[in-house]
Structure 1
Amino acid sequence: MNDDAQSPVFRPARGLAHCVIGTLALAGAAWAARGVWQVRLAVTGEPLSGPPDQGDGNHRPLTSLEDAYHLVSTVGDIATVLCAVTFLLWLSQVRDNARALSGQRLRYAGPWVYLGWIVPIANLWVPRGIVAEVYRAGRPDARLPWTVNVWWGLWLVGALSGAGLMYADSKDDVIARAYGDVTPLLVADTAVVGAAVACALVVRAVTDAQDSRGDAGARPATP
C-alpha cells in the first residue's frame, strides 16, 4: 500500500507502550537469568564425559544444571519473540502517529518497520532511523534522547556479537562454550539486558513526545 494513499488517524499509543515495556522487562530478566546459568556452568566445569554434543550426532544425557539451562534459555527465547512482536506493533502505530502529527511523508516507508530488521546492511541503521524520525515528529525542536543511541549501540553488540540474539548455535553448543570461555557469552547477555532497559526508556520518551504534542493541540489527521 502506498504510504501516501491515506492519512493515518492519531491514536495514543500509551497502552501499547506499557505492554512493550512489560515484555522488555520480561525479556531482560530472562536474559539475565540466562547469564547466571552460564556462570554456574562455567564454575561447575565440564563433566568428565565431555560436552553434551559428542559429535557424529551423539548426545550424552544432560546433567541437571544443563537441563535447567535448556529451560531458562527456552523461556528467554519465548520472551524475546513476545517482546519483538509487541515492539513492532508499537513502532508501527507510533510511525502512523508521526505521519498524522507532521502531515508529511516520512523518510522510511511503512514496510521498513519490519524489513529494516532483516535486510542486511540496512538493519545496521534503519530501525534507529525510524525511531529517531518518529520522536522528532512529536518534538521537532528537541534533541534526540541519548537513550536512543545507547539502545541501538547495545542492540548491535547483543545481536551481532556472535554470542547473542542472532547466534545460531544450539543450546548444547552454547553450554560447551560456557565451559570453555564464558566471557563472550556474558558480554552478549549484558548487552541484551542493557538494550532492553534503554529500549524501555526510548519507548517511554517517544510515547510521551507524541502525547504531549497531541495535548498541546496538534490537529489529528482524518481518514
Structure 2
Amino acid sequence: MPSRGFLVAALTGLALAALCDLFSIFAGVRYRLTIDGNGGFPTASHREVEAAASLYETAARYQVMLFLPCAIAFAVWFFRMRRATGPLAPDRFRNGPGWAIGAWVVPLVNLWMPYRVAFDMWGAATPLPSDGERHRPRIWPLNLWWALFVFAALFNTFVATKYEDAGTLTEIQDGLVQYILSDALHVLAAAAAAYFAVQLTTMQRSKAMHGPYGMGTPCSVQRLEEQLTD
C-alpha cells in the first residue's frame, strides 16, 4: 500500500501549479487592461506598460520553474499507485508498471497512454459487484481529468504559437486573452487531477483492506447473517 506522502506530494504539486496559473491570470488581466489601446496605441504610460509586462513575465517564469517538480511529484504518485493496484486485479492491466512513467515522456504517446494506464488502475481499484448487482464503474472523474488535461495542453501549444507570432497591439491583446483562458483550463485540470488522485487512492485502500467486493463483501454479510441467526 503506497504511503500517503506520495499523494500529499502530488496534491501539493497540483496546488502550487494551480496557484501559479491563478497568479498568471491576474498578471495577464492586468497587462491586458494596461495595453487596452485607443486607435492602435496603449492609453497607459510607458512605465505602467513595462510594469505590467514585467509582472506577467514573472508569472510565466514561476510557471516554468514549478512545472517540472510538480509534474515529477504527480508522476511518482502515479507510478506508485500503478504498483499498488497491480496485485488487486493483475488480469486488468494491458501494460507493465514501467509504462506508468514511460507513458508521460514519449511524445504523442503521452496524449493517450497515461489515460490507458489510469483506466486500468481505476478498474482494478473498483470493487466487484455483489450478487445481483450490475458492474457499472464510475469513471467520470478519470474522464473529466484527462479531457481537461489534454485540451489544456493542446490549447496552450496553439496559444503559445500565436502569441510568439503577434506583431500588432491587437494581436498581443488577443493572445493575452487566449493565454488567460489557457491558464484557467490548467487550473480546472489541476483540480480534476487532484479529485481523481484522491478518489483512486481511496478506492485502492478500501479494496486492499476489505477485499475485492469492498466494505460490503458477501463474506462479511454472510458472517453477519450467521451471527444473527445463532
Q: Tell me the TM-score normalized by structure 1.
A: 0.75
State which structure, 1 or 2, has the greater radius of gyration over its C-alpha atoms. 2
Q: Show the counterpart of 1:136.
A: 123
Confirm or deny that 1:76 pairs with 2:76: no
Where does 1:37-76 land on structure 2 (aligned, <5 Å)?
Answer: 37-45=27-35, 63-76=50-63
C-alpha separation in 1, matches of 2:19 and 2:5: 22
1:123 corresponds, among 110, 114, 118, to 110
Which structure 1 segments of 5+ residues have no match? 1-10, 51-61, 219-223
1:160 corresponds, among 154, 165, 169, to 154
Structure 1 residue 151: Cα displacement: 1.0
Where does 1:195-214 land on structure 2 (aligned, <5 Å)?
Answer: 195-214=189-208
Higher relative CO (CA 8 A, sep ≥ 6), structure 1 or 2? 1
Q: Tell me the TM-score normalized by structure 2.
A: 0.73
Are the structure 2 counterparts of residues 30 and 162 from structure 1 closer, same or farther at C-alpha, using a change threshold of 3 Å? closer
C-alpha separation in 1, matches of 2:88 and 2:66: 32
Are the structure 2 counterparts of residues 149 and 135 from structure 1 closer, same or farther at C-alpha, using a change threshold of 3 Å? same
C-alpha separation in 1, matches of 2:125 and 2:162: 41
Instruction: Provide Cα deviations, 1:84-131, integer angstroms capped at 9, x if missing partner.
Output: 001110011010111122244721223322332343442222111111
Instruction: Provide Cα deviations, 1:120-169, integer angstroms capped at 9, x if missing partner.
Output: 442222111111111211115451331211111111121111447x9479
Are the structure 2 counterparts of residues 162 and 195 from structure 1 closer, same or farther at C-alpha, using a change threshold of 3 Å? closer
Which structure 2 segments of 5+ residues have no match? 42-48, 129-135, 213-230
Does structure 2 conserve the Cα–Cα contact (< 8 Å) formed by 1:20 and 1:86?
yes
Confirm or deny that 1:146 pairs with 2:136: no
C-alpha separation in 1, matches of 2:16 and 2:211: 35
Where does 1:5-24 land on structure 2 (aligned, <5 Å)?
Answer: 11-24=1-14
C-alpha separation in 1, matches of 2:172 and 2:143: 30
Confirm or deny that 1:184 pairs with 2:171: no
- What SS does the aligned partner of 1:117 have? helix
C-alpha separation in 1, matches of 2:187 and 2:7: 18
Q: How many residues align?
A: 196
- What SS does the aligned partner of 2:104 have? coil
